[in-house]
Amino acid sequence: MDKEARIYVAGHEGLVGSTITRHLREQGFNNLILKPRDSLDLCRQESVKNFFAFEKPEYVFLAAARVGGIAANQQHPADFIRDNLQIQTNVIDSAYRHGVKKLLFLGSSCIYPRLASQPIHEECLMGGYLESTNEPYAVAKIAGIKMCQAYNRQYGTDFICVMPANLYGPGDNFDLENAHVLAALMHRFHLAKLNGEKEVAVWGTGKPRREFLHVDDLAAAVILLMNIYSGSEIINIGSGKDISIAEAAQLLKEVIGYSGAIVYDTAKPDGTPQKLLDINKIKALGWQPVITLEEGLRSTYKWFTEYYRRHARD
Ligand code: GFB
């Protein structure tokens, strides 16, 4: 990408899109095309077609998606499969029809089989049954990958697909019920600290293992790939380390400075037992994660408390 390239970041108001946008600006890309959600509904085919016809982006980061944690996925399976299929179909097809030079599609580590061998290599895709708590979302993301690969094969497009581990960072959704685990627990521990509560409930058994990646590390990886990688093979992006939910909760408790107890609500689902990605492929392309989980949680918590204070005053 040259610095004057017309780059569309779809989903620039979300965790991933906003971070990619900030990194692009920091690297001197100033010809960014950003459309707020309320002025372009990516689920509407006509609107997306007209937008591409008018704006003619050269590069597209497809970071727009309906996302959420385990509870949101379980409670809104129809919304997750429909919105994601619509958004990605509209954007990928318009990118082809309007001559986009290159598109990067963001998937998720939940596309892999529930019981894939660990660390999960890219070739495990479609090798077994999916985790039931997020199957509709995963199926939509798999469809996105297959669509990019099919367009590359039939139309000769340059559409690439990356599979990030569980992401976190400033700008995340911190909803107590619908967010992903680190953001939800950060909020819950914070409130417990403020209100002097004696215990905090962590969902499930605490035994599942997750690989967490700071969104700044992800943004660096996807911009690198947009610049140097072409091909239909999907690429994992992770921190290379996993920890149990119990360990993550303990770390959060320390970072936040909460002194009460952790209890486990085993009526809530555990989800998939382990998700640790094999990141050798992206490492061989010259990227590696630099933000440790502890550092990342500390800086995210700093951001969260400032945000929380500002919004409490509104
Ligand atoms: O982050 P999370 O919702 O994502 O949950 P998944 C991870 C683990 O944390 C599960 C436990 O074992 C949860 O039971 N957990 C403990 C909690 N306390 C909490 C809490 O307060 N909130 C949440 N959310 N979890 C998602 C998928 O699965 O991963 C999405 O549903 C997406 O589709 C995303 O792929 C990356 O890793 O289980």
How far is C-alpha 196 from the chain's CA centre? 33
H/E stretch holding 7: strand 7-10
Nearest CA owner, ligand 1 atom 25: 181
Q: Please identify, by atom number, the ligand 1 atom nearest to the C-alpha of residue 176.
A: 21
- Res. 314: pLDDT tops 60: no
Q: CB of 210 closer than 6 A to ligand 1?
A: yes
Q: Please identify, by atom number, the ligand 1 atom nearest to the C-alpha of residue 165.
A: 36
> What is the sign, positive or negative, of the torsion defined by CA atoms of 148, 149, 155, 158?
positive
Ligand 1 geometric centre to CA of 248 (Å): 12
Rounded mean pLDDT of 21-41? 97
The pLDDT, as a whole number, for residue 313 is 56
Q: Please identify, by atom number, the ligand 1 atom nearest to the C-alpha of residue 204.
A: 14
Nearest CA owner, ligand 1 atom 35: 110
Domains along the chain with CATH numbers: 7-313 (3.40.50.720)
Question: Mean of the per-residue pLDDT values for the chain?
Answer: 97
Ligand 1 geometric centre to CA of 28 (Å): 35
Q: CB of 178 closer than 6 A to ligand 1?
A: no
The pLDDT, as a whole number, for residue 216 is 98
pLDDT band of residue 22 (cuts 50, 70, 90) is very high
The pLDDT, as a whole number, for residue 309 is 83
Q: CB of 70 closer than 6 A to ligand 1?
A: yes
For 121-159, the pLDDT digits (tens) are 999 999 999 999 999 999 999 999 999 999 999 999 999
Calpha distance 151→13 (Å, rounded): 27
Q: CB of 238 closer than 6 A to ligand 1?
A: no
- With beta carbons less than 8 A apart as the criterion, state whether 303 and 22 touch: no
Q: CB of 241 closer than 6 A to ligand 1?
A: no
Question: For residues 181, 86, 14 and 273, what is the CA-based torsion angle, rounded to 10 degrees?
Answer: 20
pLDDT band of residue 1 (cuts 50, 70, 90) is very high
Ligand 1 geometric centre to CA of 131 (Å): 12
H/E stretch holding 97: helix 77-97
- Is 96 a known active-site residue? no
The pLDDT, as a whole number, for residue 149 is 98
Name the active-site residue from 137, 168, 258, 301: 137
Rounded mean pLDDT of 271-288? 98
Q: CB of 190 closer than 6 A to ligand 1?
A: no
